[in-house]
Chain A
Amino acid sequence: MLQNSWKHYRKIMLLSLCALLVFVGGCSFPGLSGTGKSDKTVRIASVTSTESQIIANIISELITHETDYNTSLVNNLGSSSVSQAALQRDDADIMATSYTGTDLTGTLQLPPEKNPQKATRIVNSELKKRYGQVRYPTMGFADTYAFMVTQETAKKYHLNKVSDMQAHAKEMKAGVDSSWMNRKGDGYKEFASAYGFNFQRVYPMQLGLVYSAVEQGKMKAVLGYSTDGRIKSYHLKVLEDDKHFFPPYDCSLVVNGKYLKQHPDLAKLLHRLDGKIDLQAMQTLNYQVDNNLLEPSVAARQFLEKHNYFRGGN
């Protein structure tokens, strides 16, 4: 009997604990944005990359400055598939950065597509069809893999395009993103056969390291992201992908369709960013944050103030 009542007590304890947790989970706390679910708060998801956080802050600053909505950032998510999941589970309303290539092969599990317009079309319609998400037109920059060299190397070998490297490839060491090395569809093997040359040796390394590797002369050429701020801080020369080998990673924001329907005013406001951030602008922003110790939110505010919150457009 006594034994029984203890077990009973334990059960009650655990049950009430669980009930309490669920209750607290739905509460909203004064002074903390992003608690509870309020109609006037827009939740913006972004991943750990500098670029994603800048874009998220630009969206957030635009919304809070131009409307009476509040925003809360769901920051530092591990990957774009996590932020996709956040959108699907209704933990967030806007996904700050969606790259065509990543969404095509990652989220949607479709084969890679080389034609930029076609890829964008597929991703836009599939996201809409499968998850009811609305993908906006590109913000104006594309993040893609690009080969880069130092200015001296470029001058010495007369390098402007990727195919210019062919004549010297045999004496060049190249550092590349380790995840690109063995990728199917657009990895090193396909690259070598498309451009018709191999490097002397290819070193797979962590993406963040390639920029300083080429800057310090440890590598002759490296494969990095075209928008990285370090291209600017190290004065690297980006070689043109003249055979259009690397798939387009046009960057757009994605919004939950249902949310957008309930808030038509937001739908219009977000279109202000269409095509407004070009590659140059994005590189500068990345540079300010990565190199000049500016917080993404500060850089975003300065950027929008400089452009008068894009009131002129649209």
Chain B
Amino acid sequence: MSEMGLWQQFWYYMTHNGSYVLEQFSRHFLIAIYGVLLAAVVGIPLGILIARYKKLSATTIGIANVIQTIPSLAMLSILMLALGLGVNTVIVTVFLYSILPIVKNTYTGMNNVNRAVIDTAQGMGMTRMQQLFLVELPLSVSVIMAGVRNALVVAIGNVAIGAFVGAGGLGDIIIRGTNATDGGAIILAGALPTALMAIIADLLLGWAERKLQPHGM
């Protein structure tokens, strides 16, 4: 194999292990998606809550900030003590890192809705729920989506480290490359799809963000 150049080795690897790479690719993606979805389910309502009860915002964002400062490898090890080895530990890690961008963006988005618009909505006799779903959320959805987008890209990077607790994913291929005799090509085979996934996810969510933006904004 040493007579082949790095890229030749890379293509050779891809043609011989393509289905395996694809399998790990989808696994990697699912782990990231599940973590971010959970964070969205928790984070968006929380963001709406603290936008309404502003007194709670400092504490909530403070806690989220503290979580964000923990290095990912340390977070993984701490969680491993409580949750053991495996995929769930990584999903929880992704969840924790996704909380801050989602909560913060939701909070900012809700706060930036023009007071005059809300007053008008109230004047029209809307209930609070109607105000939320018909006025405030549509107006802040693109900011919220930006948070989700941010969280997903970070998550895809973090999942690669999850290979250390036995979760699988593309990080597995990268680690194997560091152990093999001449593993440059194997490292590339793990790293390039990871980068590609992050770029594609970012583009797709960027497109969704623009689509969700209400007309005339």
Contact = CB atoms under 8 A, between A and B. Distances in A.
A26 B82 CA distance: 11
Contacts of A295: 16-17, 20, 173, 176
B1 A75 contact: no
A17 B181 CA distance: 44
B63 A14 contact: yes
A294 to B, nearest CB: 6
Interface residues on A, range: 35 or more
6 contacts: A6-B55, A29-B30, A72-B168, A74-B166, A76-B164, A76-B166
Contacts of A298: 16-17, 20
Contacts, number: 122
Interface in A6-21: 6, 9-10, 13-14, 17, 20-21
Contacts of A50: 176, 179-180
Contact of A290 (B30, B31, B79, B180): B180
Given A20-B42, A32-B31, A76 B83 contact: no
Interface of B: 1, 9, 12-13, 16-17, 20, 26-27, 30-31, 34, 38, 42, 55-56, 59-60, 63, 79, 82-89, 91-92, 95-96, 163-164, 166-168, 172-173, 175-176, 179-182, 185-186
A89 B83 CA distance: 11
Contacts of A45: 85, 166
A32 B87 contact: yes
Nearest to A85: B85
Given A32-B31, A35-B88, 9 more contacts: A26-B88, A29-B34, A32-B34, A45-B85, A50-B176, A76-B164, A76-B172, A77-B166, A298-B20
A24 B85 contact: no
Contacts of B42: 20
B85 A74 contact: yes
Contacts of A31: 26, 30
Nearest to B89: A25
A185 interface: no
Most buried by A among B17, B42, B163: B17
A269 interface: no
A13 B87 contact: no
